[in-house]
Homo-oligomer: A and B are copies of this chain.
Amino acid sequence: MVQYAPARLDTSFAALSDPTRRGVLEQLGRSDASITDLAEKFRMTLTGMKKHVGVLEESGLVTTEKVGRVRTCKLGPRRLEEEMAWLERYRQMWDARFDELDKVVLELKRKEKTDDHKNRE
């Protein structure tokens, strides 16, 4: 299995492991928002929201721009393609692994039947 930019996957999966941060991304998918808007929407202190936005910004999932006193947040340039690719490959591997185990179980069952049959003879 190819490793895609491991450090990037570390920061993006870590960014996605928090429900508020996932919620912020969903919100920014609907419209840009200031940190104050986001803090109100998620019933959080400004400091708390700034931290979450900082994590999202570091992972490239959000970009922010300060105009005057207002910092506006938007979705960043990352479309999470590498993360999708990793999960997709994991799923293929998982399916292959369980198919393989199914075959082993079937083979054992078949063998058991044959043995039973032989014992009865």
| Chain A residues within 8 Å of B, Cβ to Cβ | 1, 3, 6, 9-11, 13-14, 16-19, 22-23, 25-26, 28-29, 75, 79-81, 83-84, 86-88, 90-91, 93-98
Contact = CB atoms under 8 A, between A and B. Distances in A.
Contact of A16 (B1, B9, B23): B9
This protein's copies in its complex: 2
Given A25-B90, A84-B91, A17 B14 contact: yes
Contacts of A19: 3, 6, 9-10
A10 B6 contact: no
Contact of A97 (B23, B75, B97): B75
A25 B116 CA distance: 38
A10 B18 contact: yes
Contacts of A94: 29, 75, 79-80
A25 B87 CA distance: 11
Given A10-B19, A29-B96, 19 more contacts: A3-B23, A6-B19, A11-B17, A13-B13, A13-B17, A16-B86, A25-B90, A26-B90, A26-B93, A29-B93, A29-B94, A75-B94, A80-B90, A81-B91, A83-B87, A84-B84, A84-B87, A84-B88, A87-B87
